[in-house]
């Protein structure tokens, strides 16, 4: 990862400054949700934050810098809740379900940011590298979970890293598709329970399978 891919470190801040910075970030989510990243202006964002447009530049140099910082917040949330250590008290499929639930809920919260970053990653090298960092984190975590499941006889013989890459691609694009105004269901709100149930069924069946017991079959 190159140094310019990371958001610049914030200047030394006061509690009031921290609160204003956070207010701008939350306002950006709302403005981008309404207008999209390209159309949302700094004035729109600052109006949502109930601050003057000029105050923006005390905290961020550009709108893109703000988006990169929000994308890093998104990645850190995923790291803390989706990539946390596997629980020994639960089986691999239960662990998978917990992480899918967390991923969907975090994505739902950050969907304006994830959508904007995903779209910019197609045309901007910095965002492409930043989005790849999000993906690689997810692939590593899911690959470990598949390997744990394989130790219990699930998904025999599958390349865990490639399987994780394929499943992460499905999950990321599905979340984008179901939350984007340009997706398959622009006029339908997909509630958390429905989304999590569908994704869990697909993932659990994709990972939680075993080869048939040929010994038992031959004895019949």
3-state SS record for 116-184? HHHHHCCCCHHHHHHHHHHHHHHHHHHHHHHHHHHHCCCCCCCCHHHHHHHHHHHHHHHHHHHHCCCCC
Residue 14: its pLDDT value, please?
A: 67
**pTM for the complete prediction?**
0.85
Overall average pLDDT of the 6-35 stretch: 81
Overall average pLDDT of the 75-92 stretch: 90
Residue 11: its pLDDT value, please?
A: 54
The structural architecture, per CATH, of the domain 63-211 is Orthogonal Bundle (1.10)
Overall average pLDDT of the 39-56 stretch: 96
Overall average pLDDT of the 119-135 stretch: 96
pLDDT in tens, 150-199: 999 999 999 999 999 999 999 999 999 999 888 999 999 999 999 999 99
The CA R_g of the chain, rounded to the nearest whole Å, is 20
Give the distance from CA 213 to its chain's centroid: 38
d(CA 156, CA 162): 14
What's the mean per-residue pLDDT of the chain? 90
DSSP letters for 62-114: SHHHHHHHHHHHHHHHHHHHTSSPPPTTS-HHHHHHHHHHHHHHHHHHHHHHH
Examine the pLDDT at 216 and tell me if it is beyond 70.
no
Examine the pLDDT at 16 and tell me if it is beyond 80.
no
Q: Which CATH class is domain 11-60?
A: mainly alpha
Domain limits of the chain?
A: 11-60, 63-211
């Amino acid at each position: 990862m190159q140094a310019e891919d990371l958001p610049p470190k914030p200047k030394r801040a006061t509690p009031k400054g921290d609160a204003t910075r956070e207010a701008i970030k939350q306002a950006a989510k709302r403005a981008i949700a309404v207008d999209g990243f390209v159309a949302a202006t700094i004035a729109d964002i600052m109006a949502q934050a109930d601050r003057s447009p000029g105050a923006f530049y005390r905290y961020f140099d550009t709108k893109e810098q703000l988006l990169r910082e929000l994308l890093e917040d998104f990645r850190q949330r995923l790291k803390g809740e989706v990539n946390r250590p596997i629980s020994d008290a639960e089986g691999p499929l239960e662990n998978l379900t917990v992480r899918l639930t967390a991923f969907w809920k975090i994505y739902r919260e950050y969907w304006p940011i994830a959508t904007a970053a995903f779209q910019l990653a197609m045309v901007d090298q910095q965002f492409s590298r930043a989005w790849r960092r999000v993906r690689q984190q997810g692939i590593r975590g899911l690959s470990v979970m598949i390997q744990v499941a394989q130790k219990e006889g699930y998904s025999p013989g599958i390349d865990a890293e490639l399987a994780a890459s394929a499943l992460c691609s499905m999950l990321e694009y599905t979340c984008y598709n179901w939350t984007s105004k340009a997706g398959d269901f622009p006029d339908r709100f997909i509630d958390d329970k429905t989304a999590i149930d569908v994704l869990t069924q697909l993932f659990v069946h994709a990972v939680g399978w075993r080869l048939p017991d040929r010994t038992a079959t031959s004895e019949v």
